[in-house]
Amino acid sequence: MEKYKNTALTRYHIELGAKMQAFAGYNMPIEYSGITDEHITVREGVGVFDVSHMGEFWVKGPKAIDLLQKITTNDVSALYDGKVQYSCMPNGKGGIVDDLLVYRFDAETYMLVVNASNIEKDWNWILQHAREMGMESDRELYNASDEISLLAIQGPLAVDTMNKLTDEPVEEMDYYTFKKMSVAGIEGAIFSVTGYTGSGGFEVYVANEDAPVLWKAVFEAGREFGIKPAGLAARDTLRLEKGLCLYGNDIDDTTSPIEARLGWITKFVDNKNFIDRELLQKQKTEGVSRKLTGFVMEERGVPRKGYEITNDRGEVIGHVTSGTMSPMMKRGIGLGYLRSGYTKPESEIYIKIRNRSLRAKVVKMPIYKE
């Protein structure tokens, strides 16, 4: 039997009756009170996700910025101390190794946060390019993934909840910034105004041994606001309503950032000769034959990954990469790659669900607009 890793909080999830499942090599909570209930709690109140399965790498030293400018598409030189950046790593063939967050602590200290399913692949990829630049793997690169726990406290009432646990007012922090501060009495916690739900909130990084203290303190602080734990299933429906990519579904080693509408994190600035720059610049200039596109079902049906998308003549024009029943819209929604010519908002498309072609329409992102 395959062995899965537990997070520092697994026993709390089990005590709360969470439905546990293997995900990216970890034993993770998929849902507690139900996907819809957890989803609405995050959209309207405050919910907590244990996302300690995510990977964290430290990149340090005088060559850190040069390495990051080479392996990521976004412009790392635009970062300042305490700023976070969303980015991706091209794979040298026009595809994506992973999408990630880059945290700048100072000019020679960065933390990368990567997807759990890609930790080993990403680490090996970064190490390979670091060694080519003469960087020392032990001193300047460090994989801290197994030592760090991460809680995502998400939703409009996350501010009121977390203000009780910090020494400084968190509502004054800008989106995509972070500070090292005392959180629930835990010194040196990394407090970040980020998250992948589209409903605002924070992510807090602590050492594994401090995770139970943080977990209990967050639930105590949020009790009056109806705080609830949320699982990975609700995390998926939340990000999908906002049109946010999930690696392995909407982006992977075969999709380019330009096709995935990630041109906004692909910066063709001077002195940034990143992997695949020439190819991606050509795609941006000349256009691509397909684009990741959001859609809403016009007829009753739930789109799922892999379903064919056709035009009114029945010709296959794309495929669904992510799909669900939107808890907020009460309609089927999805993302998919569509042939150019069909990606304009309001375009009529059809999703093949169990041998039936059901009508849908293309929408501008985000799919769900509050």
DSSP-derived secondary structure letter, 92 = S
- The sign of the dihedral angle between the CA atoms of 267, 268, 271, 272 is positive
Maximum CA extent, the chain: 63
Asked whether the beta carbons of 210 and 182 are under 8 A apart, the reply is no
Dist. CA 320–CA 15, nearest whole Å? 36
Task: Write out 246-307 in H/E/C secondary structure.
Answer: CECCCECCCCCCCCCCCHHHCCCCCCCCCCCHHHHHHHHHHCCCEEEEEEEECCCCCCCCCC
- Full set of structural domains in the chain with CATH: 10-51+147-241 (3.30.1360.120), 55-143 (3.30.70.1400), 289-363 (2.40.30.110)
pLDDT of residue 2: 58
Asked whether the beta carbons of 160 and 224 are under 8 A apart, the reply is no
- 10-residue mean pLDDT series, the chain (370 residues): 85 98 96 98 98 98 97 98 98 98 98 98 97 89 97 98 95 97 98 98 98 98 98 98 98 98 98 97 98 98 98 97 98 98 97 96 96
Asked whether the beta carbons of 229 and 188 are under 8 A apart, the reply is no
- What is the torsion angle, in degrees rounded to the nearest 10, for the CA atoms of residue 190, residue 191, residue 193 and residue 195? 70
pLDDT of residue 137: 75
Where do the H-state alpha helices sit in 155-231? 158-163, 211-222
pLDDT of residue 139: 86
Least Cα distance to 196 among 233, 156, 240, 228 occurs for 240
Q: How far is CA 268 from CA 87, 125, 295, in A?
A: 13, 22, 30
